[in-house]
C-alpha cells in the first residue's frame, strides 16, 4: 500500500466510538433543537445506543419480535401511540415485558405525544428511558439519524490550518514553521473565514464527505510566530470565522531552497491528484513556498480551480484538449 502523504500530519489514529449512553443526548445541542424531555425511566439513562439507525416499534408492539431491531432508539409517532391506546392495560404491559426481554436503549416520542400511564409505569419499572420531543415524527427521525451518524462517524485530528476560501474548505498542511498560520491569516485579511488553526478535528459525515472543526477548547485562536496568540473572532469579527466546513481541498506547503521550484506537473500529466483521508478521496495539491512568494494568492487560485471543477469545468483537461486540437489542426 502506498504511504499516505498525510501520514506525517495525522495526530491520533482515526477512531470511532462503538456505543453512546442515552444520557449523552441531553448534553448535546440536539436536546434543545428537538425540545427533548425525559418523562420516564430516569434510572436507565446509562443504557447504550449501538447504531446510528432508528426503529419504529409498531410490529414489536403487536407481539412480532423476530427481526426486532432492539439495539436502536425506538421512535414512536401517532401510529404506535394510538395503537397502544386501543389495547387494555394488561395487554400493554405484557407486550412491553416481552419487548424488554431484549436490550432496548430508549423510546422517543414525537409531537409531544402522551402514552398511556401503564406504558410509563412499565418503563419506569424496567428502567427504560422514555423521551418526548415536540417535533413531528419525520423531523425527529431525520435529525436523530444525522446526530447519531455524526456521533458514530470515524474521527481523526490533523496538524494543519483550515480556511473556508470562496466556499471551498481548504486544509493547509506542512512542516512546522512553513507558514500555514501566516497564510491563513492573510486569507482571513482577504475576506475568507478561519475554521481552525493547528489542531483540526476531522469527522467523516454520512456520504463521502469529511467535516473539519476547530479544536473545541481553542476555537479560532491562531498562534502567529513573533506576536503570539491572535483571536480571529475578536480581531476580525463573526464574518471571518466558521465553526465547521466540509473539506474540499488539501494544500501541502513545501519549502523549496532552489530558485526554480520543482513542480511534479501532475495536474497536466495524470489529472488532479487525490489523497485518501478517512477513506474519502480529497483533491491534494503541493505548493512550493519561499521568501517573496504570495502563498495566500496561490491558495485562493487553487480554491477557485477546485470550485470550477465541482461545477464540471476541469481547467487542466480543457487546456490539454485545446492543445491537442491545435496540433490536429496544424498537421
Shortest distance, CB of residue 256 to another protein, whole angstroms? 11
**Do residues 146 and 50 touch, judged by C-beta distance below 8 A?**
no
255 touching another protein, by CB under 8 A: no
Nearest to another protein of 17, 268 (CB atom): 268
Cβ atoms 106, 22 nearer than 8 A = yes
- Shortest Å distance, C-beta 77 to another protein: 59
Q: Is 250 exposed, middle or buried (0-12, 13-18, 19+ CB in 10 A)?
A: buried
Q: By CB under 8 A, is residue 263 in contact with another protein?
A: yes
Q: Return the number of the residue (8 or 271) whose C-beta is nearest another protein.
A: 271
Q: Does 327 bind another protein (CB under 8 A)?
A: yes
Instruction: Choose one: 43-51, 107-115, 182-190, 320-328; the region binding another protein (CB under 8 A).
Output: 320-328
Question: Rounded to the nearest 5 degrees, what angle is found at the Cα of 315, between the Cα atoms of 309 and 319?
Answer: 155
- Minimum distance, C-beta of residue 324 to another protein, in the bound complex (Å): 5
H helices present in the chain, as ranges: 22-25, 30-33, 58-62, 78-86, 89-99, 117-126, 137-152, 180-189, 232-236, 266-269, 295-310, 315-330
Region from 182-190, 207-215, 226-234, 260-268 binding another protein, contact rule CB under 8 A: 260-268
- How many residues line the site for another protein (CB under 8 A)? 17
Quickly count helices (H) and strands (E) in the chain. Answer: 12, 18
Question: Which member of 262, 297, 308, 313 binds another protein (CB under 8 A)?
Answer: 262
Q: Which of 42, 64, 102, 319: binder of another protein (CB under 8 A)?
A: 319
Based on its alpha-carbon atoms, the radius of gyration of the chain, rounded to whole angstroms, reads 26
d(CA 331, CA 325): 10
Q: 2, 265, 311, 312: which one contacts another protein (CB under 8 A)?
A: 265
Q: Is 301 in the site for another protein (CB under 8 A)?
A: no
Question: What's the full length of the chain, in residues?
Answer: 331
Contact residues: another protein, CB under 8 A: 260, 262-265, 268-269, 319-320, 322-324, 326-328, 330-331
Amino acid at each position: 500500500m502506498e504511504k499516505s502523504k498525510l501520514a506525517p500530519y495525522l495526530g491520533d489514529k482515526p477512531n470511532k466510538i462503538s456505543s453512546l449512553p442515552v444520557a449523552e443526548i441531553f448534553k448535546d445541542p440536539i436536546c434543545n433543537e428537538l425540545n427533548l424531555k425525559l418523562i420516564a425511566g430516569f434510572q436507565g439513562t446509562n443504557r447504550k445506543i449501538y447504531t446510528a439507525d432508528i426503529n419504529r416499534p409498531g410490529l414489536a408492539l403487536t407481539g412480532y419480535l423476530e427481526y426486532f431491531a432492539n439495539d436502536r432508539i425506538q421512535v414512536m409517532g401517532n401510529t404506535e401511540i394510538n395503537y397502544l391506546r386501543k389495547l387494555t392495560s394488561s395487554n400493554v404491559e405484557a407486550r412491553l415485558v416481552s419487548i424488554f426481554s431484549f436490550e432496548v436503549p430508549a423510546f422517543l416520542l414525537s409531537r409531544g405525544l402522551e402514552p398511556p400511564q401503564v406504558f410509563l409505569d412499565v418503563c419506569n419499572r424496567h428502567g427504560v428511558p422514555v423521551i418526548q420531543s415536540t417535533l413531528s415524527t419525520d423531523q425527529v427521525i431525520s435529525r436523530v439519524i444525522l446526530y447519531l451518524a455524526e456521533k458514530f462517524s470515524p474521527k481523526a485530528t490533523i496538524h494543519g490550518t483550515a480556511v473556508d476560501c470562496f466556499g471551498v474548505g481548504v486544509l493547509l498542511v506542512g512542516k512546522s514553521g512553513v507558514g500555514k498560520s501566516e497564510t491563513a491569516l492573510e486569507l482571513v485579511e482577504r475576506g475568507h473565514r478561519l475554521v481552525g488553526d493547528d489542531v483540526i478535528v476531522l469527522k467523516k459525515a454520512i456520504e463521502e464527505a469529511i467535516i473539519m472543526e476547530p479544536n473545541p477548547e481553542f476555537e479560532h485562536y491562531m498562534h502567529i510566530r513573533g506576536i503570539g496568540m491572535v483571536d480571529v473572532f475578536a480581531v476580525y469579527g463573526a464574518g471571518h470565522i466558521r465553526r465547521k466546513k466540509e473539506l474540499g481541498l488539501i494544500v501541502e506547503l513545501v519549502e523549496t531552497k532552489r530558485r526554480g521550484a520543482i513542480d511534479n506537473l501532475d495536474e497536466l500529466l495524470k489529472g488532479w491528484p487525490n489523497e485518501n483521508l478517512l477513506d474519502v478521496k480529497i483533491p491534494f495539491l503541493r505548493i512550493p513556498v519561499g521568501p517573496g512568494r504570495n502563498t495566500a494568492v496561490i491558495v485562493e487560485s487553487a480554491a477557485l480551480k477546485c470550485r470550477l471543477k465541482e461545477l464540471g469545468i476541469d481547467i487542466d483537461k480543457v487546456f490539454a484538449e485545446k492543445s491537442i486540437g491545435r496540433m490536429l489542426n496544424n498537421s
